[in-house]
Amino acid sequence: MSQSSEEPGHGHSPAAWATVTIVMVAFTIGTLFFWFDMPAVVWASAGLALLGPVVGLAMKRAGYGVGGSKTKTH
């Protein structure tokens, strides 16, 4: 069985870090305000969670994804 010594680099980019950070913050806010019974903020955090992948995709297309033109390892 052969092993590849090359790491694919999944998630090691500014675009991936931004996506994960936005989604985690959104879920944290949503969970907190769910317990405070503030549905408007919970729904706003759901919208923020949906915005995370959009930001990540935009950053990837701008060259900040894995192997992008604006990252160190391209």
Rounded Cα gap, residues 64 and 30, in angstroms: 28
Contact between residue 59 and residue 14 where contact means Cβ atoms under 8 Å apart: yes
Identify the residue whose tokens are 């160190």. Answer: 72
pLDDT at 13 (0 to 100):
92
Cβ-based neighbours of 11, under 8 Å, separated by 6 or more = 17, 20, 66
C-alpha dihedral, 46 to 51 to 56 to 59, nearest 10°: -160
- Within a domain: residue 33? yes
Model confidence at 71, pLDDT cuts 50, 70, 90, reads: confident
15-53 confidence digits (pLDDT tens): 999 999 999 999 999 999 999 999 999 999 999 999 999
Q: What is the pLDDT of residue 4?
A: 61
1: pLDDT strictly greater than 60: no
Query: Could you tell me if residue 42 is inside a domain?
Result: yes
Q: pTM of the full predicted structure? A: 0.82
* Full domain range(s) for residue 59: 23-64
Number of domains within the chain: 1
